[in-house]
Amino acid sequence: MDFNLTTTDAEQKFRSELGAFLDRELTPEICRQHSMDLGLGPEARAFALKLGATGWLGRGWPKKYGGSGGTVVDEYIMVQEFARREAIVPNIVARFMCGPVMLRNGSEDMKAEFLPRIASGEIEFSLGYTEPSSGSDLASMRMKAVDDGDSFVISGQKIFNTQSHFADYHWLAVRTNPDAPRHHGISLFVVDQRAPGITIRPIETLGGERTNEVFYDEVRVPKTRLVGELNKGFYYMAEALGYERLMLFQSVRLIPPFKRLLEYTKTTKRGGRLLADNPDVQRHLAQMATEIKVAQALEDRAFALLKNGDPLDHEASLLKLFGSAMRQRFADHALDILGPLGRLEEGADGAPLGGEMAKLAKTVVVDTIGGGTSEILKTVVATRGMGLPR
Amino acid sequence: MDFNLTTTDAEQKFRSELGAFLDRELTPEICRQHSMDLGLGPEARAFALKLGATGWLGRGWPKKYGGSGGTVVDEYIMVQEFARREAIVPNIVARFMCGPVMLRNGSEDMKAEFLPRIASGEIEFSLGYTEPSSGSDLASMRMKAVDDGDSFVISGQKIFNTQSHFADYHWLAVRTNPDAPRHHGISLFVVDQRAPGITIRPIETLGGERTNEVFYDEVRVPKTRLVGELNKGFYYMAEALGYERLMLFQSVRLIPPFKRLLEYTKTTKRGGRLLADNPDVQRHLAQMATEIKVAQALEDRAFALLKNGDPLDHEASLLKLFGSAMRQRFADHALDILGPLGRLEEGADGAPLGGEMAKLAKTVVVDTIGGGTSEILKTVVATRGMGLPR
Amino acid sequence: MDIEFSEQQSLIQNSARNYLAATFNAQMLRDFRLGSQVDAEKIWQEMADLGFMGIAVPEEYDGFGGNFADLLVLLEEMGRVTLPGPFFSTVVYATEVLKALDKQNINSVILPAIASGAITLALVMGDEGNIFDVAGLSLTAQPDKDGYILNGVGQFIPNGYESDYVICAAHIGSAKTQKNDTGIFCIAVDVPGLERKPLNSMNGLCVAKLTFDNVHICRDDLIAQGSDTWPALEQAMFRTAVAKCAEMVGACARIVEIVVEHAKERRQFGKPIGSFQAIQHHCADMLTDLDSARWMMYKTGWLIDEGKASRSDMAMTKVWCNQACRRILAKGHQVMGGIGYCEEHDMPLFYRYIRMAEAAMGTSDDHLTIVAEDLLWETFA
Amino acid sequence: MDIEFSEQQSLIQNSARNYLAATFNAQMLRDFRLGSQVDAEKIWQEMADLGFMGIAVPEEYDGFGGNFADLLVLLEEMGRVTLPGPFFSTVVYATEVLKALDKQNINSVILPAIASGAITLALVMGDEGNIFDVAGLSLTAQPDKDGYILNGVGQFIPNGYESDYVICAAHIGSAKTQKNDTGIFCIAVDVPGLERKPLNSMNGLCVAKLTFDNVHICRDDLIAQGSDTWPALEQAMFRTAVAKCAEMVGACARIVEIVVEHAKERRQFGKPIGSFQAIQHHCADMLTDLDSARWMMYKTGWLIDEGKASRSDMAMTKVWCNQACRRILAKGHQVMGGIGYCEEHDMPLFYRYIRMAEAAMGTSDDHLTIVAEDLLWETFA
């Protein structure tokens, strides 16, 4: 039994070099652009290219596709080193969601075209899965691609495509065989996000992030942009889920905000008494700290399975269930600790910690919804993880 | 808007006279016999007859059936006055579950035979509903009554018939038409609990109460003992549910134990400090007190509907949902307050409050299960109370 | 026992529901949050004309003379539309203080003006929304020859930016612990030395920071002082906490309606999501929390009107409403799914409203502490 | 990162699971709870022969020399059958203290006897299960000419009635606050003046009250004293708290198995109840709690073996296991329905076991207080 992430010298070297790079290059502005989903500014774009140039962004991928060797441990090191600095790996959708699927299932041409540009930090993708009437029931999607010689012609609408306003490509799931059973008629395409016929409408969210509706009006997509085999799209989407959930969710990200909150309670008085001396505040803090540690233990276990080559199925759903609910409890505790002032937002005179907990509280609302609702995930855990009948 | 229970002089007089009677006559031994479901001893039997002799047990029923007039307010006063003294109205199943159904649906002969004996405190009933394979899905019951001239012949098994070992009559639901849709083929009978062919096997429970399995082997029941119409039994069972739930559940019963716990914390030190000075203990106590008060407000609302003649449907389910979960939280708080010693039981040297919280904790386990599981009740609230599709 | 609304209460409910539903829509409410004052004065006057402002003002002061439960009925309706503006701070917060202080010479001037909609008020009490501790008063008033000099900062003052007058509780002199030295002042916001800054909160610009820098107050602006002052203030604060619960219950009642409607209409896996047990049970939990909060709130209101409400009764009400409404909000979002996270939907209005309300007039922790104090010193009955 | 059990741990797991499953059945466990000692000696010796007693005893003392994680693996198995008897008090609680004190002359005598199954031990520490406060030690030891006189009451002592020896922590002299004056004694239970009374607990007679009435102890029975004693004891207590978590996790793992089996087999409304979303989601919640508790427990065990576990790491583990296991227990009963409430079913065994364990070696409140203390004084990493 060994919970050490880095066990080889190479891994340790990678971690420390990457850490040093990030300490040097990551600015608050870049972190802000990462976390807001409002679009990458020039700073974040430049940073992505700089990281790409080191070869580290492609760590874990074959060299011929722009990768730099290394293992899944390196990928996890990368994710964690960014997370502990409250940043996100640049072009994360391309790097951890679309890229790996392409690597396993894409044609040689597709891989050669896209993977090196992902590894170089050049391009980002946006997921095009959800439709207004297909949320939890993703397999009911209705947006269609019609075969038309060398290309498909696509019309319809997607929603909650969070990166579409700044991403370069749309990772689009559409129905290609309306007559097949639901899961069997869906294909994945890589579509130029700026192609003629595409309209992107912004959706403002409670948490302040931007997401989008994306409308397709007879958009022509060459057949070379089909990912893998026709009508296998749903399986490609599903097979990557465990890996994605682990790589995208890192509770270590909560540690810096927690430390700031802790420090705030040690230095701020309410009613003549330090917050940290209030037993209610103490209980909230202790519970928050405990739950972060528990989440980390669960993540360690999931990563150990992944590293071991074991399938990461319901374990990833369970991890997301735990982590998302934990983040919501975290925000509730934080607001309880901060009281009325904790409801002040960025820019308000006297807002504790610059209003970050008010912001966090709004943001985490979607955590138990997006990327699989808790209800769907619980059913997955119960049926796939525990063998209960469907 | 008026939350006063007693509004007329007659009601106030009844309450104060009944209260004085109970203060005089109720002994700890009687309360113990009431609460344990272990069977009524001679003291509790004698007490029931004494109460019956006052005419108050039949309060709310017509005089010709042994009642003494009065209103549903009087019935509720009776329930509450017993509950606040941690006792239970004697022969409560007969008085508040079987009696009212009989009063509405029974034949004249049946009413004349049974109701006066209920009102006099003489007889108790035991519910015979659940079967080993029919719990939440009560309508699937399989125990059958076969028509045989002047009587029915009944064979089969019931389970969780809590009073059968001391009750005089079995209030038995059985299938009388196997061909009808599930809810339409069930009838209710009054069966002498000591009739030949009936075997009662005790079941010991976690909470220490006794319950029973009841086996019927060709038990012959005269047709005069059919309650109301044939095959209407399920509806009779259902129509009484709201009334029963309100009359059987009274959160005021938790107030005396809460006060004893409170007093204990004010007089007991742990680690050199009074428990009552421990902020964790304070928080637990405040939450417990709050929830008892909230339950009382919900009960007031339910009773106001009942008194007003409004149907008490999902509101009673909601009340039971709240109250049962509240009692479980209450027990958890109590154990948290009392720490290790709170796990000592009656008779153990040093058990706080004579081990009553350890006992309570075990007892409340069944509260969210018996009399309708919380899962079933939530579905009732959602579908019947909120109009969600079945 | 009769929990039906009185005829008068039903009238209040209907008139408020009809007016508010016809007046506010989601876009308007979002605009208000971001600072728009379009139609604010017109709406304010219409509400005054409907008698809303005078609901709890005694008839002798040109009010409607309603009891506390009447006020709760109205506030529940206002919660349903997440009503913005200085209604609560004027008609509840400030009015409760004025009624509790019961100074006829003051009330005969201010209460009619409140009832007619002529003025709006805010209240400066304790530090950072801490309203229950006399030692935590935000301001000090130093006597000088023709009055007082007020200093200090009122932080997180509801509607402190858009009100005409501010009622301030201040320590007179320098001692900061005695209840006897509390003075109450009523001052116009244009007094020199008072700076008001709106604060960006989760629910927009509905709170403010008021800085008093040597503000000269003439003697007549002291409206109460002495040993009765703090107890009266405290009583008003607890009643106001219960009133806040009515707003929260109204908001949550509307959340439950929105969510149930969605659960009936939204289809996934070939059927309405409301036919799935998980969704049904979320909804049942929401209704359980809503009903329990609602009846606790009205029962406490009735106790207040009967003169029987203890401090604990009122504190428990805020504890439970805070806890229950937080759960309703969370489950509501869960049932709504992604669409409820979009600002164009109604849910974010309620999110912002409830998050502010659960911290207003005392958090759960604040009130549990009060309940515990009383439990340990008084009798629980 | 490799969370697989080592080969040795798998051996321990298999051997324990096979032996315990073959040895215990529900009826036997109920009888044990009610005081039956049938087969107890035989079982004890079999377990010793299998190496269970020596698992954490260093090889130099004739033990198995396993690390802390090995011990956790074994305890998880014991939790699965709610193992009764003095195993935990002897092999974990007392052994951890002895190892922490590290007195070779003592350990060379006692540890081999533990490993061989020759003796059982109990431990008397603080008042009423309060094991983390030096001021709360239950006993005082007054020096006299040839030794000490022990007085005091050890309340709620795990397996205090059926053990051969008692290790006692006592204040030497009369001062009750200094960590330096803590002395540790090892005494045989037949010493005059020691009265032992079994207590009826939620899990039967597994705790006792030990009254020391002028018990004369000879000087040699003092096995440790001085400034290192309390820190060593404290370390042992925290490790033991983590060990208790392993038992709880084992019990809950078995609850989950029982419940899932039931949910697959029990049919209502024409289908297995496990096909209803409400039941599925209860089960998923249970697994989430179980996995999180389990991996937190093993990770902390690993940290302990690496010498990197802080006091907080260990306290957090008990906090979370207490909280998670309580929920698992409650949901387990809910899925089982009425049958799980009958004493003849296995669920009550687990109910009683978990309710005791959640209070043993510190409640959630106790450990949260410790975590908070450390958070406020140390760095959180």
The CATH code of the domain that includes D89 is 1.10.540.10
Q: What is the CATH number of the domain that holds A283?
A: 1.20.140.10
A226, part of any domain? yes
Q: Tell me, yes or no, whether D88 and D149 share the same domain.
A: no
Is the CB of residue D341 less than 8 Å away from at least one CB of chain A? no
Show which of B180, B202, B231 is a domain's final residue.
Answer: B231
Q: Is the pLDDT of residue D131 over 80?
A: no
Q: Cite the DSSP H helix spans in chain A.
A: 9-25, 28-36, 42-54, 72-84, 92, 99-105, 108-119, 233-239, 241-248, 255-267, 279-307, 314-338, 356-363, 374-380
Q: Tell me, yes or no, whether D34 and D165 share the same domain.
A: no
Q: Tell me, yes or no, whether D129 and D180 share the same domain.
A: yes
Under 8 Å between Cβ of B326 and B251:
yes
Asked if A283's CB is within 8 angstroms of B280's CB, the reply is: yes
- Contacting residues of A for B276, CB less than 8 Å apart: none
Q: Is the pLDDT of residue A38 over 90?
A: no
HEC letters along B127-172: EECCECCECCCHHHCCCEEEEECCEEEEEEEEECCCCCCCCCEEEE
Q: What percentage of chain A reaches a pLDDT higher than 70?
A: 99
Q: What is the CATH number of the domain that holds D221?
A: 2.40.110.10
pLDDT for D173 equals 85
pLDDT band at D228; cut points 50, 70, 90: confident
D381, part of any domain? no
Tell me: the pLDDT tens digits for A340-376?
999 999 999 999 999 999 999 999 999 999 999 999 9
pLDDT for A32 equals 85
Q: Tell me, yes or no, whether A378 and A254 share the same domain.
A: yes
pLDDT for A34 equals 78
| Element spanning C17, H or E | helix C7-23
Is the CB of residue C123 less than 8 Å away from at least one CB of chain B? no
Q: What is the CATH number of the domain that holds A17?
A: 1.10.540.10
Q: Tell me, yes or no, whether A84 and A149 share the same domain.
A: no
Q: Is the pLDDT of residue D175 over 60?
A: no
Q: What is the CATH number of the domain that holds B160?
A: 2.40.110.10
pLDDT for B297 equals 97
B105, part of any domain? no
Tell me: the pLDDT tens digits for D300-345?
999 999 999 999 999 999 999 999 999 999 999 999 999 999 999 9
The more confidently predicted of residues A26 and C377 is A26
With vertex at residue C261, the alpha carbon angle to CA C258 and CA C265, rounded to the nearest 5 degrees, is: 135
pLDDT for B37 equals 61
Q: Tell me, yes or no, whether D87 and D135 share the same domain.
A: no
Is the CB of residue C342 less than 8 Å away from at least one CB of chain A? yes
pLDDT band at D379; cut points 50, 70, 90: low
D372, part of any domain? yes
Residues 192-251 of chain D with CB under 8 A from chain B are 197, 199-203, 207, 209
Q: Tell me, yes or no, whether B138 and B68 share the same domain.
A: no
B43, part of any domain? yes
Is the CB of residue B104 less than 8 Å away from at least one CB of chain C? no
Asked if D276's CB is within 8 angstroms of C276's CB, the reply is: no
D106, part of any domain? yes
Q: Tell me, yes or no, whether A303 and A365 share the same domain.
A: yes
D67, part of any domain? yes
Show which of D227, D260, D275 is a domain's final residue.
Answer: D227
Q: Tell me, yes or no, whether B182 and B259 share the same domain.
A: no
pLDDT band at C36; cut points 50, 70, 90: confident
Rg of chain D's alpha carbons, rounded to an integer? 21
Is the CB of residue B72 less than 8 Å away from at least one CB of chain C? no
Give the residue from B203, B94, B123 showing the smallest Cα distance to B158: B203
Is the CB of residue C135 less than 8 Å away from at least one CB of chain A? yes
Q: Tell me, yes or no, whether D235 and D259 share the same domain.
A: yes
Give the residue from C112, C30, C24 showing the smallest Cα distance to C63: C112
What's the rounded mean pLDDT across residues D27-37? 89
Q: Tell me, yes or no, whether C114 and C143 share the same domain.
A: no
CA distance A342 to chain B (A): 22
A360, part of any domain? yes
Q: Tell me, yes or no, whether B150 and B81 share the same domain.
A: no
- Contacting residues of A for C342, CB less than 8 Å apart: 203-206, 211
Quote the domain boundaries for residue D185. Answer: 122-227
Under 8 Å between Cβ of A164 and A193:
yes
Tell me: the pLDDT tens digits for A93-152?
999 999 999 999 999 999 999 999 999 999 999 999 999 999 999 999 999 999 999 999
pLDDT band at D127; cut points 50, 70, 90: confident
B97, part of any domain? no
Under 8 Å between Cβ of C246 and C76:
yes
Q: Tell me, yes or no, whether B212 and B318 share the same domain.
A: no
Nearest neighbour of B388 by CB, restricted to C275, C291, C380: C275
pLDDT for C177 equals 58
Q: Tell me, yes or no, whether C368 and C252 share the same domain.
A: yes
Q: Tell me, yes or no, whether C165 and C56 share the same domain.
A: no
Q: Tell me, yes or no, whether D156 and D212 share the same domain.
A: yes
Structural domain total, chain B? 3
- Contacting residues of D for C281, CB less than 8 Å apart: 278
Inter-axis angle of helices C229-265 and C311-336, nearest 10:
20
Residue of chain A whose Cα is closest to the Cα of B283: A280
pLDDT band at C2; cut points 50, 70, 90: confident
Asked if A137's CB is within 8 angstroms of C268's CB, the reply is: yes
pLDDT for D101 equals 94
Asked if B279's CB is within 8 angstroms of A280's CB, the reply is: yes
Q: How many cross-chain Cβ pairs, A to D, lie less than 8 Å apart?
A: 153
Residue of chain C whose Cα is closest to the Cα of A203: C342
Which chains does C contact via 3+ CB–CB distances below 8 A?
A, B, D
What's the rounded mean pLDDT across residues A225-250? 92
Is the CB of residue B348 less than 8 Å away from at least one CB of chain D? yes
Structural domain total, chain D? 3
Residues 243-262 of chain A with CB under 8 A from chain C are none
Q: Tell me, yes or no, whether B201 and B268 share the same domain.
A: no
A310, part of any domain? yes
Gap between the Cα atoms of D317 and C130, Å rounded: 35
pLDDT band at D126; cut points 50, 70, 90: confident
Q: Tell me, yes or no, whether A380 and A254 share the same domain.
A: yes
Tell me: the pLDDT tens digits for A297-315?
999 999 999 999 888 889 9
Show which of D119, D144, D162 is a domain's final residue.
Answer: D119
Q: Tell me, yes or no, whether D25 and D109 share the same domain.
A: yes
C237, part of any domain? yes
Residue of chain A whose Cα is closest to the Cα of C327: A332
Is the CB of residue A160 less than 8 Å away from at least one CB of chain C? yes
Q: Tell me, yes or no, whether B138 and B207 share the same domain.
A: yes
Q: What is the CATH number of the domain that holds C355?
A: 1.20.140.10
Asked if D319's CB is within 8 angstroms of A387's CB, the reply is: no
What's the rounded mean pLDDT across residues A80-96? 93
- Contacting residues of C for B296, CB less than 8 Å apart: 299
Choose from A280, A281, A285, A336 for mutation: most chain B CBs within 10 A: A280
- Contacting residues of D for C273, CB less than 8 Å apart: none
pLDDT for B6 equals 86
Q: What is the ipTM of this complex?
A: 0.97
What's the rounded mean pLDDT across residues A202-220? 96
Asked if B365's CB is within 8 angstroms of D351's CB, the reply is: yes
A110, part of any domain? no
CA distance A242 to chain C (A): 22
Q: Tell me, yes or no, whether D109 and D67 share the same domain.
A: yes
What's the rounded mean pLDDT across residues D199-218? 95
Q: Tell me, yes or no, whether B86 and B148 share the same domain.
A: no
C36, part of any domain? yes
| Element spanning C124, H or E | strand C121-124
Is the CB of residue B161 less than 8 Å away from at least one CB of chain D? no
What's the rounded mean pLDDT across residues D279-291? 98
CB atoms within 10 A of CB D34: 10
Gap between the Cα atoms of D314 and D235, Å rounded: 10
Is the CB of residue D323 less than 8 Å away from at least one CB of chain B? no
Asked if C316's CB is within 8 angstroms of B290's CB, the reply is: yes
Q: Tell me, yes or no, whether C273 and C298 share the same domain.
A: yes
C2, part of any domain? no
Q: Tell me, yes or no, whether A139 and A53 share the same domain.
A: no
Residue of chain C whose Cα is closest to the Cα of B267: C376
CA distance A347 to chain C (A): 7
Show which of C67, C90, C119 is a domain's final residue.
Answer: C119
Is the CB of residue A291 less than 8 Å away from at least one CB of chain D? yes
Quote the domain boundaries for residue B208. Answer: 127-231
pLDDT for C174 equals 66
Tell me: the pLDDT tens digits for C159-180?
999 999 999 999 998 655 566 6
Token pair, residue D136, equals 């709360």
CA distance C341 to chain D (A): 24
Q: Which residues in chain B belong to E strands, given as ranges?
A: 125-128, 144-148, 151-159, 169-175, 186-192, 198-204, 210-222, 269-270, 273-274
Single-letter residue type at A109: D
What's the rounded mean pLDDT across residues A217-239? 96
Note the pTM of the prediction, 2 decimals.
0.97
Query: Which residues, 6+ apart, have CB-to-CB distance to C14 below 8 Å?
Result: none
pLDDT by residue, tens only, chain B of 390 residues: 899 998 899 999 999 999 999 999 999 999 888 776 656 788 999 999 999 999 999 999 999 999 998 899 999 999 999 999 999 999 999 999 999 999 999 999 999 999 999 999 999 999 999 999 999 999 999 999 999 999 999 999 999 999 999 999 999 999 999 999 989 999 999 999 999 999 999 999 999 999 999 999 999 999 999 999 999 999 999 988 889 889 888 999 999 999 999 999 999 998 889 999 999 999 999 999 999 999 999 999 999 999 998 888 899 999 999 999 999 999 999 999 999 999 999 999 999 999 999 999 999 999 999 999 999 999 999 999 999 998
pLDDT for C132 equals 76
Show which of A231, A261, A293 is a domain's final residue.
Answer: A231
Classify strands A273-274 and A144-148 as parallel, antiparallel or unpaired: unpaired
pLDDT band at D381; cut points 50, 70, 90: low
B80, part of any domain? yes
C81, part of any domain? yes
